[in-house]
Structure formats: C-alpha cells, structure tokens
Structure 1
C-alpha cells in the first residue's frame, strides 16, 4: 500500500508542468504569426501611401526629371512615416499616351512602388538574409488633376 501512495505522490503536479510547456510551445508561434501579420500590414499600408504620394509629387513637378527625384524622396518619406526604415525601394513611373513627356496634355501617370518587409524575430540562418515579404502598390494620376488651369480675364 505504501508503494501505491508513493507512486501516486510522484505524479502530483506534473499536469501543471505539462500544461505550462504546452502553452508556451503553442503561444510562441501564435505570437510570432500575429506580429508578422501586423508587420506585413504596416508595410502594405506604407507602400500604398508611398505610391499615392509619389504620384502627386510627380504630377506637381515642373519637369519629368525633377518629378522623378521628388517622387522617390516622397516615397521614402512615406515609408519612414509608417515606421518602415532601411528597406529597398523601387519607384517606377510610366505615362500614357505621351511616354516621353508625362506633363503634356492629358497624360496619365502610373506609379509603381515596390519594397519589402523583413519578418520579425527570425534569424538570417535560413539563407540569404532575414526572411522577407515583397510588397508593391500602383497608383494612377491624371496629369490635369493636380495642375492649375489658367482663368480667362474678366
């Protein structure tokens, strides 16, 4: 009888330990998934805002060359405003129907901003750097939308 009591007494509290370890093993990946989703969402919002701001900056510039410089600077600032720092940024601008003069007539400026977001809390040992998620956004701006039209004299 004393052996049965001794055996039962040796198992006391093990369910609490097992439940604690199980909770930790399930909670850590769940927290990582939630944090990663929030990081990707923040990056997607930042890239979308960067495309809109770059399109406006390009349309308001007096020349195409200055417009591209302004669009790139504004896109970088829009990413920084959302807390996305130190990521590669690619700004591509195309125009139609006048591809060589985007500020002519009824051109439509299309801005594509591409970047990436590094997934948090993962080391670079998975190969080639930290794992990341590629993001891009497109925004089209009619050139007449942000240009002042001269008024006729009264």
Structure 2
C-alpha cells in the first residue's frame, strides 16, 4: 500500500505540466499561421487596390509616358497606404488593339501590379533573404471609361 501512495505523490501535477507544454507547442504554430494569413491578406488587398488605381491613373493621363509614371506612383502610394511601403513593386501596362498608343481609339488598357510580402517571424536562411509570398493583381480598363477617346 505504501508503494502505491509513493507513486501517486510522485506523479502529482505532471498532467498540468504536460498540458501547458502541449498547449504551447500547438498554440505558437497556430499563432504564426494566423499572422501569416493576415499579412498575405493585407498584401493581397493592397495589390488589388494598387492595380485598380494604377489603371485609372493611366487612363486619365494625357499620353502614354505620363500614364506610366502616374501608374507607378499611384501603385506605390496605394501600397504605402496599406503599410507596405518597403515591398517591391512591378507595374506592367499593356494595351490592345493599339499596343504602341494606348490612348488612341478604343484601346483597352491592362495594368498588372506584382509585389511580395515577407512572412512574419521567419529569418534570413542561408543568405537567400527572408521568405516571401508573391502577389499580383490585374485590372483591365477600356480607355473610354474615364475619358472620351480622341480621334486619331
């Protein structure tokens, strides 16, 4: 009978310690996943807003050169408004059916904004940089949506 009491007192409280460790082992990765999803969602929202605003800015510009400058500036500003001022931004503008003159006739402008967000709490491994999640969005706008088409 004495040996049973000794075993019971030796194991007293170990269930609580095991629960705490198990909780920590499950909670920390779950917290990381939630934070990573929020970061990617913020980037996705910023990139889609940047594409929409860049397409509008390009369509409202008087010519193609000014339109490219405005589209890049607006895309950077929209991403900065979302707290993503330090992310890389690549703005690509294509037009059809007049690829060399987007502001002519009945052109359709397609603006693609590509960027990436850093995943939280992950360090630079092996000198490759912090792990990133790539994002891109595309907006297509006919030139006549925001201004009247000029005759050629």
| Structure 1 and Structure 2 fold alike (TM over 0.5) | yes
Report if the CA contact (8 A) 2:106-2:149 is conserved.
no
Question: TM (normalized to structure 2)?
Answer: 0.94
Q: Which residue of 1 aligns with 2:20?
A: 20
CA root-mean-square deviation: 1.5
Superposition deviation, residue 85 in structure 1: 2.3
Which residue pairs with 1:130 in the alignment? 130
Query: Which runs of 5 or more residues in structure 2 are unaligned?
Result: none
Question: Are 1:64 and 2:64 counterparts?
Answer: yes
Which residue is 1:53 aligned to? 53
Give the Cα–Cα distance (whole angstroms) in 2 for the partners of residues 28 and 126 of structure 1. Answer: 24
C-alpha deviation, 1:149, in angstroms = 7.2
Give the TM-score normalised by structure 1: 0.93
Q: Which runs of 4+ in 1 moved over 3 A?
A: none
Q: Check if 1:34 corresponds to 2:34.
A: yes
CA displacement, residues 46-97 of structure 1 (integer Å, 9 cap, x when unaligned): 1000000000000111111111000000000111111112111000000111
The aligned residue for residue 102 of structure 1 is: 102
Work out the number of aligned pairs and report it. 150
